Structure 1
Amino acid sequence: MTPAPRAVLLDLGNVLVFHDNSLLFRRLGAQAGLSPAEAERRLSGTGWTAANRGLLGAEGIRRDVCGALGVDLPAEEFNALWSSHFTVHEAVLPRVEGLVGRVKLALLSNTNVLHAAFLRPRLPVLGRFDHLLLSCEVGLVKPEPAFYQEAVRRLGCAPEEIAFFDDLPEFVQAANALGLRGHVFTTAEAFDAQLKALGL
């Protein structure tokens, strides 16, 4: 029988929080007098990856997004709008809380400085994680192997001792290729069943 994992590595978006990108494009478009589809099209070429790698700070993100949309929103208004599409996934939090102290816990997320600043105070459980690996702070993004390898290094476990949960199958496949025990996250109930199957 395979022993239970010593560590659990979690994604942020659509795991601990939901993000409704269509709502974000609708709200940004409304500010610029554009359709949601046009707002999405204009933003598809902007520096998402640069922001996620930490190459753009808060002001750089505001300038890039506003420039692409042809509007100029003050920082306070922009920052609120930019993170207005998140809701905390309340159903999963008790299950995550239940892992504290039983395994090493870490977060592995592609995110930018504004979203990280918005979400940290809304997820107090993150303060009980052993490690938070945010792409904008580490300078790496999933599915780059080096990002997963940095998580393995910080957790101090062998890859096969780490269970990884992400909503995107390609990110799970990248983890599996490095020897982690990757699982596609779908619902809080399925997560519960996956943890039980792992002996957690």
Structure 2
Amino acid sequence: MNTPIRAVILDLGNVLAFHDNALLFRRLGARAGLDAEEAGRRLSGAGWTAANRGLLGPEGIRRDVCGALGVDLPMEEFNALWNCHFTIHEAVLPRVEGLEGRVKRILLSNTNVLHAAWLKPRLPVLERFDHLVLSCEVGHVKPEPAIYEEALRHAGCEPHQAAFFDDLPEYVAAANTLGMRGHLFTTANAFDGQLRALGLE
């Protein structure tokens, strides 16, 4: 018989909120007079990772992104553009709400301070999570073992007692390597089936 699940550890992007990076690159690129492909090329790499590790604060992110794109946007305009690609995944929220009081709920996300600040008030369910493990606050990023271990520490359980859901296979594989029960998140309906299989229907 499977060990009961004591914690559900959830990714943020494309689980609780969709993020359309193609839209982000189109909008930022248009403002800078660049096509989306060029904007995406300029924004990939070290700066993005530095922001996710918490090495860049709000103004640092603005300067880094604007510098890469060759444009200087005031913070208010920049922040609106920087968060334009998010849509709350309304269908999954009742499933996540239904776990309250049954298991610990931990958020585990690679994100930066501006994205986190924009999403938190739009996802009030996060206020009732047991803990939020955000890469920009802990200095580690998935798939590094340290960030999963941080989530497990706050979950207060052994790896095999934690179910982890993420939309990226490499992050799920990293969780499985540590002994967690990793699942690839695809849709709210599929999530229902995964929870049933874990005894959390």
TM-score interval, smaller chain? over 0.9
Report the CA distance between 1:46 and its aligned residue: 4.7
Contact in 2 for aligned 1:46/1:68 (Cα 8 Å) = no
Whole-angstrom CA distance in 2 between matches of 1:42 and 1:140:
23
Deviations 1:8-65 (A, max 9, x none): 0000000000000000000001001111111111111351110000000000000000
Contact in 1 for aligned 2:106/2:130 (Cα 8 Å) = yes
Root-mean-square deviation over aligned CA pairs: 0.7
- Residue aligning to 1:14: 14
Contact in 2 for aligned 1:145/1:174 (Cα 8 Å) = yes
Deviates more, 1:149-158 or 1:104-113: 149-158
Contact in 2 for aligned 1:166/1:184 (Cα 8 Å) = yes
Whole-angstrom CA distance in 2 between matches of 1:153 and 1:107:
13
Runs of 5+ in structure 1 lacking a partner? Answer: none
- Residue aligning to 1:155: 155
Report the CA distance between 1:3 and its aligned residue: 3.0
Name the amino acid aligned to 2:183.
H
- Residue aligning to 1:106: 106
Q: Paired residues, what number?
A: 200
Whether 1:196 aligns to 2:196 is yes
Contact in 1 for aligned 2:3/2:160 (Cα 8 Å) = no
Task: For 1:52-131, list aligned pairs within 5 A.
Answer: 52-131=52-131
Q: TM-score, normalised by structure 1?
A: 0.99
- Residue aligning to 1:179: 179
Deviations 1:62-98 (A, max 9, x none): 0000001000000000001000100000000000000
Deviations 1:115-145 (A, max 9, x none): 0000000000000100100000011100000
Task: For 1:29-44, list aligned pairs within 5 A.
Answer: 29-44=29-44
Secondary structure at 2:172 match in 1:
helix
Whole-angstrom CA distance in 2 between matches of 1:71 and 1:172:
37
Contact in 2 for aligned 1:46/1:65 (Cα 8 Å) = no
Q: TM-score, normalised by structure 2?
A: 0.98
- Alignment identity in percent? 79
- Residue aligning to 1:140: 140
Name the amino acid aligned to 1:159.
P
Name the amino acid aligned to 1:156.
G
Whole-angstrom CA distance in 2 between matches of 1:45 and 1:104:
34
